[in-house]
Amino acid sequence: MEFEETSRQPGLGDRFPDLTVQTSHGEVSLPDAYEGEWFVLFSHPGDFTPVCTTEFVAFQQRSDEFEDLGVNLIGLSVDRVHSHIKWIEWIEDELDVQIEFPIIADEGGEVATRLGMLHPEMGSSTVRSVYVVDPDGVIRLELQYPMEIGRNIDEILRSIRALQTSDENDVAVPADWPNNANFGDQVLLEPPSDVATAEERLQRADEEDYDCLDWWFCLKDLD
């Protein structure tokens, strides 16, 4: 494994660190391999474990939805490549699902340590981490789950759709978007940063087809 030397774990808004990793599909350089594209890197505690198996099957079965969003999938654990290969074969033989995305073999845990996927109190296995990285190689979302709870694929897809909607329309999205109990699939305008802009927004609400409850709380429908 090769990676840039820095002790700080990358966080939201940081560029994903430059890593050269061994995977079930061969050597991959991150984030360069997905330059100009979104990718989701997710770690799992170990091959041949029940929860992890259900997660990999779920990711693969929803892979068309990720692909429609322009998102690549890549897994990771501290298992060896040979273990990944045998596990993939088992999944195909027993569950009739072919895992098509690469899995990083982080033997020794260097990558997992760099990305904060190893927690001493959780043992030597990686926790269930998720990194969502945008086409510029910037980390846009981080999630972590304990070993005993599998991830919700719907939430990962929803979050990516929300990020892409925010980027494309320069808006924010409310809780549970696009199915908010009070505002449905409406999106939120960013609050004004000065008095003049706040006053102008209220004055132009009808003209711009905004629904403003106050100067700092304005909604709109997406076209």
CATH class of 2-151: alpha beta
For the full predicted model, state whether its pTM sits above 0.85. Answer: yes
Q: Does the active-site annotation cover 218? A: no
The CATH 3.40.30.10 domain(s) of the chain lie at 2-151
Kindly report the CATH number that applies to the domain delimited by 170-223. Answer: 3.30.1020.10
Q: Residue by residue, what is the 3-state secondary structure of the chain?
A: CEECCCCCCCCCCCECCCEEEEECCEEEEECHHHCCCEEEEEECCCCCCHHHHHHHHHHHHCHHHHHHCCEEEEEEECCCHHHHHHHHHHHHHHHCCCCCCCEEECCCCHHHHHCCCCCHHHCCCCCEEEEEECCCCEEEEEEEECCCCCCCHHHHHHHHHHHHHHHHHCCECCCCCCCECCCECCEECCCCCCHHHHHHHHHCHHHHCCEEEECCEEEECCC
In a structure prediction context, what are the per-residue pLDDT tens digits for the chain, which is 223 residues long?
Answer: 444 445 578 999 999 999 999 999 999 999 999 999 999 999 999 999 999 999 999 999 999 999 999 999 999 999 999 999 999 999 999 999 999 999 999 998 899 999 988 876 655 678 899 999 999 999 999 999 988 999 999 999 999 999 999 999 999 999 999 999 999 999 999 988 899 888 888 888 777 788 999 989 999 999 7
CA atoms within 13 A on the CB side of 114: 19
Catalytic residue among 28, 30, 41, 52: 52
The CATH 3.30.1020.10 domain(s) of the chain lie at 170-223
215: left (phi over 0), alpha (psi -120 to 50) or beta: alpha
